[in-house]
Amino acid sequence: MPDGANFRAEAAPLPGFSVTRRIAGMSRFSPTAAIGLTIILIFGILALGSNIFMPYDPVSSFPERVLQAPNADHWFGTDGNGMDVFSRVIYGARYGFGIAIPAVIISLLIGVPVGLWTGYRGGIGDEVVMRFFDGLRVFPSIILALAVVAATGQSLINVIIVLGVLDSPVFARVVRSEVLALRSSVFVESAVAAGNPTWRIMFVHLLPNAIQGAMAQTAVRAAWAVRISATLAFLGVGIQAPTPEWGAMIRQGAEFMVSGQWWVALFPGLALIMLVLGLNMLGDGLQDFLNPRRRSVK
């Protein structure tokens, strides 16, 4: 299979490689990614402009309007505390992005350097780190996240940090395998021969070329972070009522689902699916586009 090698040979000498340009081009090739991106943008606008779109304060109660079905005043009805579900669903987008973006950034900040280092240096350090990552795989990620958040204290910050740390091996692996392939390429070897220090080779020469694989993963990992953080909140760990977070809202509505007040849990669930689906669609397209191996099989 020569395609992979070709791709690298062509990408490596291009110092001005631009991720953004490729993403712009992507929508032409991948309608999936374009739809995903559109969904994400809509939610992004809702999150940034939530104050404009929300008819009511999302955590303010109307004590006399508890559990009203959807109506003209409350499009998505009210919850068990008399709060407006529509406003809360919109505000929930802020928690979606507010958790996913920093969590993925933390994962990148940990995973990318670890991947660079282990891939470039190899040896015993690489072996130990990789075995450790393998070991982590025996724990189902949701259970591990749940147990760690429950043990370390229930706050939003904790949820973000725990998700970020737990997901960093994904990026480390991707970067490591790219680096392994690049290590013996001409431009790296010439950089070494020119007497560049290790850090310079890692961050100046390897990083720009190895990062694309990691970037291809970001959307899918963001989807994971949104999903898992909502799951934690659904179980009552991490984020608590009456915070307008989708998972916490589904938890509140769960009790009412089998007694007929479906709107409390349905709408936040739909919003959650939409955003996660959008991120996954974008991720799917991105992976196809940026990952040479997958593109080649298409």
Partner 1 sequence: MTFGRFFLRRMLMVIPLMLGIVFATFMLVRIGGLDPVGLLAGPTATAAEFDLIRGELGLDKSLFEQFFIYLGNLLQGDFGESWLSNRPVLDDMLDRVMISLELLLWGVGIGTLIGIPIGLRAAFRPDGSFDHISRFFSLLGFSIPTYWLGLVMLFVFFYLLGWAPPGVGRIGLIMSPPPTVTGSYFFDALIAGEWEVARSAASHLVLPVICMAIVSSAPIIKHTRAITLEVLSNDTVRYAKASGLPKDVVKRIVLRNSTVPILTFVGTEITGLVGTMSLIEFVFAWGGLGEYGLAAIVRGDFAAVQGYVLFLALFSVIVFLIIDFVVYLIEPRAELT
Partner 2 sequence: MLEWNYMKRGALAAAALGSTLMAGPALAATLVVASPNTPEGFDGDALRPHTQNAVVQTYEGLTKYGRMMKDGREVLDPSKALPHLAESWKVSEDGKTYVLTLRQGVKSPYGNELTADDVEWSWNKSFDQKRTGNFIATVSNVEAVKAVGKYDVEFTLNAPSSIFLKALTLYVPGIYDSTEVKKHVTAEDPWGLKWMENNTAGFGAYHLETLKPGDQAVFIANPNYFGPKPYFDRVIYKQIPSGASRVTLLKTGQVQWIDRPAIQQVLDMQKDPSVKIEKATGRSSAAARMNPKCKPFDDVRVRQAVNYAIDAELINKAVFGGTATLAKSVVPPIVDGYDTSAFTYDYNPEKAKALLAEAGYPDGFEMDILYSDLWWHQEPVAIQIADQLNKLGLKIKPVKLIGSEMRSRGSPKVMDMCFFTFEDGPIVLDPVYTMYLIAHTKGVSNRGAYSNLKVDALIDAGRQELDADKKNEMMKEAQKLWIEDAPWAMTVYSATFEAMNPKISGWVHYPDEHERWADLTMK
- Report the C-alpha gap between 191 and 205 in whole angstroms: 8
Residue 156 found at the interface with partner 2 (CB under 8 A) = no
Token duo for residue 253: 């509505």
Helix, coil or strand: residue 38: helix
Q: Can you tell me which of 71, 152, 190, 198 binds partner 1, judged by CB under 8 A?
A: 152
Which residue, 149 or 214, has its beta carbon nearer to partner 1?
149
* Contact yes or no for 248/239 (Cβ under 8 A): yes
What is the footprint of partner 1 within residues 93-112 (CB under 8 A)? none
Q: Can you tell me which of 38, 154, 177, 196 binds partner 2, judged by CB under 8 A?
A: 154
Token duo for residue 57: 């304060």
Token duo for residue 17: 């490689």
Partner whose binding site includes residue 156, from partner 2, partner 1, none (CB under 5 to 8 Å by kind): none
Residue 26 found at the interface with partner 1 (CB under 8 A) = no
Q: How is residue 206 annotated by DSSP?
A: I
End-to-end CA, the chain: 14
Q: Can you tell me which of 247, 248, 252, 289 binds partner 1, judged by CB under 8 A?
A: 247
- Report the C-alpha gap between 166 and 103 in whole angstroms: 10
Which residue, 21 or 293, has its beta carbon nearer to partner 1?
293
Token duo for residue 123: 């040896």
Residue 192 found at the interface with partner 1 (CB under 8 A) = no
- Please name the residues in contact with 127: beta carbons below 8 A apart, sequence gap of 6 or more: none
Partner whose binding site includes residue 67, from partner 2, partner 1, none (CB under 5 to 8 Å by kind): partner 2
- Please name the residues in contact with 164: beta carbons below 8 A apart, sequence gap of 6 or more: 102, 103, 104, 105, 106, 107, 110, 225
Q: Can you tell me which of 240, 262, 266, 274 binds partner 2, judged by CB under 8 A?
A: 240
- Report the C-alpha gap between 159 and 201 in whole angstroms: 34
What is the footprint of partner 2 within residues 251-280 (CB under 8 A)? 254-259
Stretch that binds partner 2, among 80-88, 99-107, 132-140, 172-180 (CB under 8 A): 80-88
Stretch that binds partner 1, among 60-68, 168-176, 183-191, 245-253 (CB under 8 A): 245-253
Residues near partner 1 (CB under 8 A): 1, 32, 131-132, 134-135, 137-144, 146-148, 150-153, 223, 227, 230-231, 234-237, 247, 250, 253-254, 257-260, 262, 265-266, 269, 272-273, 276-277, 280-281, 284, 294, 296-298
